[in-house]
Structures are given as C-alpha cells and as structure tokens.
Amino acid sequence: MPSDLESLTSSPSEHEQVAEKGHQGYIEYHSTIDGRPCDSSGTYLDPDTPPPQRYPRERDDYSPFRDRVEFETAEFLYKKNQMSGGDINTLMTLWAASIIRLGGEPPFADSEDLYSPMPEGEVPSWMSTSYKVWFRDVKTVAENMLSNPDFDGEIDYSPYREYDAIGLGSKQILEELQDIISSDPSTHGSMFCPIILGSDKTTVSVATGQNEYYPLYMSLGSVHNNVRRAHRNAVSVIGFLAIPKNMKFRKFRHQLFQSSLSMILKPLHTAMSVPQVTRCPDGHYRRVIYGLGPYIADYPEQALAACIVQGWCPTCTALYDALDGGPAPLRFREHTEELVESLDLMTLWNEYGIVGDIIDYDTSTKGGTSSNGLGTTQKL
C-alpha cells in the first residue's frame, strides 16, 4: 500500500504557492480524491468546462408549504418568535374564529399541522417511558450546504497538506482516506466531505419555564473556518436528542445517545462508500463521498460519544485517578475492540473505563469512513 505522501501531487509545477508569516510555502493536493467536476449523471467534465446554469425556484414556489402565507407564518412562529406549541394552538384557534364567517381558514390547524413539513423520528420506549428524537435528513442538509453559492471560493474540494518554507507540513489527510477511499478506483476524482458534529445540552431562560434542550449541530469539514464563524449558514441544527431524567440507568443513557446518532446518520451510510452526485458552490456537480469527522462536545458528551465511563479520559488510557500522572497511550479502535472481545464487562469498566456493551454510532455506520474510532472522540 503506498504511503499517503505518494498519493499527493509531488511535482513542483503543481504546487500552489502560499504565503505564511512572510515566507513562501506550498500546498500539495491529493492526486485521486481531487473533487473533479462532473455532470448531473456523474460523468467527469473536460477541464475548463463552465458550470451549468442554476435555475432558481419559481417566485410562487413555497414548497413544502402551500403558499406564501403558510411559509411566512411558519418562519415567523418557528424561527423568529419561536412560539411554544400551546401558544400556536391558541393563535390558530383565534385566527380561525376571526375568519370562519367569511369562509376562510387559518394557514395551520394547530402546532402539529405547522410542524408536519419538518421530519421527525421516534426512539422506541424503554420500560414505562418513551423518548422522542426530532431530526432532519442529514444528507439533504449536507447537500443544501454544499450547493450554497455563498460558499464559492471558501471551500476545499480536495484534501491537502500545507507546507511552510522549510518543508514542514500540517497533517491534513486522514490515513483512512488513503486506505479506504483511494483503494477503490471507482472513487477516484471524487470529493471527500467530512461531517462535523457537535452537541450541547442547553437550559432555556426562566421565561420559557427552564426547559432543557439537547440540540445536535452539523457542519461540513470542507468549508473554511471563517465561514462557520461568520454565521453564514455553514452550521445547522439537525436534531434534538432525548434527555432521560433518570440518571440511574447509565448504560441506557449511553445506548439511547448512540442509537439516536445512528438513526440520525443513517441517510449517510450509502453515501460514505458510494459517491453521490451533488451540486457545489461553484455551480459544478461533483461526486461526493461523506465521512464522519470530529465530534465537538464538552466532557460529559465526550464520554457519551466515546462510550467511556464518567471520570475517565476519552482520548487516552490513563487511569481515572491518575489523569495528571504524565503522558499515557492514546485510545484507538483496534485496541478497544481487542479489549472488548477479551475481557468481561466489569474489568472493562473498572480497569479501562470502557462501557463495553454499548453499540456506538460509529460502529453501526458500517462501510463508511470515519476519523472517530470506538472508544475515541475528538475535540476542538
């Protein structure tokens, strides 16, 4: 298997010169996962072929809503005002009463009618309690982000390493990218797009009754950081996770979290090994392969995502009572899987801080590529 350096463009004439702190450097792009433009059927285009024309929506197309009144009412109540479901019901009742004598009807019957164009999913009940997880189609959200023309010029279509003037490079290419994606000739010319996830349990103000919400966020690793920081629609809420109140069922809480992520990410499973033809910010189509990138979270959610016992380090194998005792080996998938196969659950829990009987969302995403291994997580 060739090294990842051998998969990079190596000719000096192909280097893109960059300036860093007053010194000249260069960038080496991946030679096969290079994000070549294609047409809508996936056939690669000749160089310098202009992108196809974009066809905007008709001015009266407000789908999935029926008309402009429905769309603007939903936008106002759900996005701007963020009105509660009970208040929406009251408003629609009053609205209906005011126009019923004229033969009219409000844009929505109640809050459930307003929410109906927005996809939802449900987690099966456990004991006497049921939990709901509300989520959007993550693949559709990713495709909408990729097709946003506002990101043109601020997105990378090919993995790369950036070198400074003395030849020191930043490790921008995941080893899995070379081993899994590049080894399949049908993926050559594709664009690799890592999915960045993050979650943060939030308590809303007293005015809303101290309600807790557990939003799950998504962004694209191909988009430049300045776009995310500028709040230019490069980060999107893709779901609200369930919040189990009974913390005695620790393993159930872990599995609920992992199963929820697995269900939310299910639309990406095929797209993590089979290229998907997708419109990009520059107007061209490209064959895109998705992969799981970093998961950004505070410590409690790092432990959940990594299937680690609370109090242990999610990234290294240091004992929970010796976290300041110096460097310790990092956790990695192969080592964790070997431990899970060889040791009993109690030993895994007490000596390695691993919740061994949880199926994590990364393991359930079979056939795809990921930078998160079982028992590991990443933080920024």
Cβ atoms of 372 and 378 closer than 8 Å? yes
Residue 11, pLDDT > 60, answer no
Residue 250, pLDDT > 90, answer no
What are the DSSP calls for 272-306, one per residue? GTS-EEEE-TTS-EEEEEEEEEEEE--HHHHHHHH
End-to-end distance of the chain based on CA atoms, in angstroms? Answer: 31
Neighbouring C-alpha atoms within 13 Å toward the C-beta of 213:
11
What are the domain boundaries of the chain?
67-106, 129-159+174-297, 298-366
Q: What is the pLDDT of residue 367?
A: 41
Query: Is residue 126 very low, low, confident or very high in pLDDT (cuts 50, 70, 90)?
Result: very low
- Residue 103's CB: how many other CB atoms inside 10 A? 6
Sign of the CA dihedral 328, 331, 335, 339? positive
Q: Global pTM?
A: 0.65
Q: What is the pLDDT of residue 377?
A: 33
Closest Cα partner for 368 from 157, 155, 107, 193?
193
What are the DSSP calls for 53-119, one per residue? PP-PPPTT--TTSSSHHHHHHHIIIIIIS---HHHHHHHHHHHHHHHGGGT---S-SSHHHHHTTS-
